[in-house]
Structure 1
Amino acid sequence: MVTELQHRMQESFKEHVSEDHLMDCMKCGFCLPACPTYLITDQDETHSPRGRIALMKAMRDGDVVWDGSVEDAFDVCLGCRACEPACPAGVQYGSLIEETRVAIQQVKPQHVVAKSVRKATFDGVFADQGKMTGTVKLVQLYQKSGLQKATRKIGFLNLFPPFMQEMESVLPAIETKKKRTFSAKPKTTRVAFFTGCLMDTLFQETNKRTIELLEWLGADVQIPAEQQCCGALHGHSGELEKGLRNARKNLDVFDSDDFDYIVNNAGGCGAFLTEYENHLKEDSQYAEKAAQFSRKMIDISSLFVKLGMNARLKEMKSEAHSIVTYQDSCHLRNVNKVILEPRSLLMDAPGFEYKELIDASSCCGSAGIYNLLQPEMAKRILDLKMKGVKELQPAKIVTSNPGCLMQMNVGIKREKLEHEMQAVHIVDFLYEAIQKQS
């Protein structure tokens, strides 16, 4: 007997999940060895891209009954999109998993608490940069007032789940002062900086260093006012329309004609930003704006390379005394295809020897807020990642995304390696490496 929920869920899948995209899958299995959840679950087909696509089609066709196991198959997906480069048919898995989560979100019954949390998150903090700033100021007060030390000392944090304790322990110290180190070169390139929500609050020092390094390389950096969260978190959580609301606001404040590049320094944000063009191609008011915006979007390591940072680094080249390695941001690698640029910068960095991390291209388990929603799976994925880290023993693990940065520091702390190594954002790594030579 088909229940009302089953019927509504099937209709939602028909409405939101593209049948054409589903039919692109040839079921060849090339995606399987690229999928972290397939590997970590002992090759459970349900937790593979091929298996999930089969479930999407079965839901659309009414061949399976919607229940917790079906929902879990979709929830456990990291959304890392490592399956896309591996797919010979070019299946648009990222679009399919976004559409699936939208379909589920439209119909799934939710408790009042869950609804309230989602509304506060997607219509509040991540829809208004002012609210994000206010929230982070509370975190800063927590750090600076002595409350953080007190809660740790009395064991108050023990009341929270272990994964939340770990994330609290690696929160960056939020600073407000900036000391300029490098002099700006004559301006040759016009750049608009997409500051991001987390990067401009929790990691504002990294943003300041980003601007300083770009100016050192001859960029005229402008920061358009009233920017909002890129919308990636919304898109990955079944709230795509709310993410596109943010996208339209961003397109309104970025006039692409005024800039040679629009740069970002967070891999996860960069992927969604470059896909504004795809998401808004049917929007007559914003399609052209979105296409131009996406074409000019560039990640920070790629822009550093274009502006000649490698040559500047080589001029400073000194004897290597420490190992540096790189953990890919999944979306930067799999969506934006940025692989060599950050590695080339690390290879040329003075005072370091670059060595490739084992399985650097595989996800660390952060995946936006995946490590908060799926802590056990995220832990298993991170534990596997840390095996390679311990074998390599680098002094610095460089990342290009704030979530990856915090996740890798969780792994370092969990393995009690914080006195031997550190995870750092690529901007901070380069800034400090150059600063030592100045």
Structure 2
Amino acid sequence: MMDTKEKERIQQAFREKIDYDEIMNCTRCGFCLPSCPTYVETGHDEVHSPRGRIALMKGVVDGDIEPSEEVKRSIDLCLGCRACETACPSGVKFGRLLEQARDAIYQSNNQSLPVKLLRGVFFENLFPYQNRMIGLTGLLGVYQRSGMQKLAQKTGVMNLFPESMRTMEKVLPQVPKRKEMKNRPRHLRPLSEQKKKVAFFSGCLMDTIFMGTNDATTKLLQYAGCEIVVPEKQACCGALHGHSGEVNQAKEMAKRNIEAFEEAEVDYIITNAGGCGAFLVEYDHLLKDDPEWKERADTFAKKIKDITSVLVELEFHKLPLELPVQIVTYQDSCHLKNGQKTFMEPRTLLQSIDNVDYVEMKDASRCCGSAGIYNIVQSEMSMQILDYKMEQAQKTKAKTIVTANPGCLLQMKLGIEREGLSDQMDAVHIVDYLLEAYEKANGIVASEPVHA
């Protein structure tokens, strides 16, 4: 329970950090309600709706509501999917209000020692350092390749963990060897007539656990006619920090990335993870109060482009693409759709593949329940949301669920495993799917990226 001093600290932090003008932009019309997964899944509980959360924020700022555990619970249960922003006729930037509220709570809250240690390990000592990410994921690779994973599953050791974590452990991709993760290309030439020069934001998880998808991304860009620069000094995008109340650390990583990419004179900065892209494109807002960085952040943000957007711009969908006969459906990345406003491009690409029958999933743009680390810290609600998503996916009769974000990909694989559908259905990142389609149609044997 919060004591009086703690409540006073949090309330003062709300007054200092919350954009009150943005709160007042909300007209309480309720258009956001049907779009909010937690509102729907809690049986239409207003406390867990965007409108309800804004009312709580306003109440705390005004002093009409105490910053209680119930208020914290409402803020924590939000997925941060930003579907409410797309639905809002007044254009309320709810995602920014959510980050401000979490910043106020977590930077002013007397957290327990275990929570402080956990947040310190991940937010301060792991994600900002790619070498440490490589080291940790390298250990995961050893666990997978050495037989320890099979032994842990066979002996029942994994039963000590929650069900969602046990299932997630099964569906994690095979992690590359440490040497492979450290030996990454920094400059690649186009494999057709050059149309653009781009920089690639490789990310932290994407360039370790999902390294194969990053390789597929650069290969697609090469086929599409792009020269590619991959700045070595880039860092984690800072999204997990920003969404979890660690805004100061998010700002530091933003500055590192801006500096790293300024040296590359490119047309675009390409991302292949919806969550990363949506945060990168708002660096201008993140650093708006910093005179030294504001203009630089604005220049950086304007160059951010999702891989699907640049492929459509370069008319990749008009090239030969082919796969075996199958039905495919698409699960939107919330932040790709609601943050980067990228909706039609993935569908355009999928619908252009010969032999593939694209079937739109009902509520394809409703969050799958992954939401960064949400499926770990809010497992019950996450699984409730995932159950609904899998019900809609099965109705499409699709063999493949395509996604555009690593968290979504793992969540959909988890859903497939939970439903016992592993022999009937698979989930795949869109760039892996498109690369297979292009190379099959053009008779190309898969190979490593071609370095400059």
TM-score by length of 1: 0.96
- Name 1:342's counterpart in structure 2: 346
Provide, for residues 225-251 of structure 1, a one-character-per-residue CA deviation record: whole Å limited to 9, x for no partner: 121110000001000111111100011
Alignment pair present for 1:405 and 2:409:
yes
How far is 1:4 from its partner? Answer: 1.7
Aligned partners of 1:157, 1:257: CA distance in 2, in Å?
45
Secondary structure in 1 aligned to 2:199? strand
Cα shift at 1:256: 6.6
Partner of 1:252: 259
Distance between the aligned counterparts of 1:263 and 1:299, measured in 2? Answer: 6
Aligned to 1:301: 308
Which whole-Å CA distance do the structure 1 matches of 2:231 and 2:321 have between them?
34
The whole-number CA distance in structure 1 between the counterparts of 2:330 and 2:123 is: 32
**Structure 1 residue 416 and structure 2 residue 438: aligned?**
no
Q: Retained in 2: the 8 A contact 1:256–1:296?
A: no
Aligned twin of 1:361: 365
- Given that 1:78 and 1:367 are in contact with CA atoms closer than 8 Å, whether structure 2 keeps it comes out as yes
After TM superposition, give the deviation of residue 6 of structure 1 in Å: 2.0
**TM-score calculated relative to the size of structure 2:** 0.93
Shifted more, 396-405 versus 161-170: the winner is 161-170
Q: For each residue in 1:339-397, what CA deviation from the matched residue of structure 2 results, as whole angstroms up to 9, or x when unmatched?
A: 00000000001231111011101000001110001000000000011111111120110
Superposed counterparts of 1:238-249, under 5 Å: 238-249=245-256
Are positions 1:331 and 2:323 aligned together? no
Task: Tell me how many residue pairs correspond in the alignment.
Answer: 432
3-state SS of the aligned residue for 2:29?
A: coil
- Aligned residue type for 1:393: K
State the match for 1:24 in structure 2.
25
Q: Letter of the aligned partner of 2:221 in structure 1?
A: L
Q: Check 1:183–1:27 CA distance in 2 against 1; reply closer, same or farther (3 A cut).
A: closer
CA–CA distance in structure 2, aligned partners of residues 30 and 432 of structure 1:
41
Find the partner of 1:287 among 289, 294, 312.
Answer: 294
The aligned amino acid for 2:135 is: G
Shift of 1:19: 1.0
Task: Quote the offset at 1:61 in angstroms.
Answer: 1.3
In the alignment, is the contact (CA less than 8 A) between 1:56 and 1:100 conserved in 2? yes
Structure 2, gaps ≥5 residues long: 184-188, 444-452
Take 2:134 and 2:427, find their aligned partners in 1: how far apart are those partners?
24
**Aligned positions of 1:389-404 closer than 5 A:** 389-404=393-408
Secondary structure in 1 matching 2:104 = helix
Q: Which runs of 4+ in 1 moved over 6 A?
A: none
Quote how far apart the aligned CAs of 1:282 are: 2.0
* SS of residue in 1 equivalent to 2:370: coil
C-alpha contact 1:234 1:240 (8 A) present in aligned 2: yes
Q: Is the 8 A contact 1:103 1:238 kept in 2?
A: yes
Q: CA offsets per residue over residues 387-423 of structure 1, 9 Å max, x none?
A: 1111112011000000000000000000111111100
Q: What SS class does the counterpart of residue 220 from structure 1 fall into? A: strand
Distance in structure 2 (CA, Å) of the matches to 1:341 and 1:31: 24
The residue type paired with residue 172 of structure 1 is P
Partner of 2:8: 7
CA distance in 1, matches of 2:195, 2:24: 48
Aligned partner of 1:116 in structure 2 is 117
User: What is the one-letter code of the residue matched to 2:140?
Assistant: V
SS at match of 1:258: coil
CA distance in structure 1 between the aligned counterparts of 2:154 and 2:48, rounded to whole angstroms: 41
CA contact (8 A) 2:278 2:335 kept: yes
CA distance in 2, matches of 1:255, 1:67: 44
> CA separation in 1, counterparts of 2:35 and 2:169?
31
Most deviating of 183-192 and 375-384: 183-192
- In structure 1, what is the Cα distance between the partners aligned to 2:401 and 2:23? 38
Task: Measure the CA separation in 1 of the matches of 2:115 and 2:157.
Answer: 25
Cα RMSD of the aligned pairs, angstroms, is 1.7
Is contact 1:325-1:394 (8 Å) kept?
yes
Instruction: Mark the runs of 5 or more structure 1 residues left unpaired by the alignment.
Output: none
Amino acid at match of 2:410: M
1:235 is the counterpart of 2:242:
yes
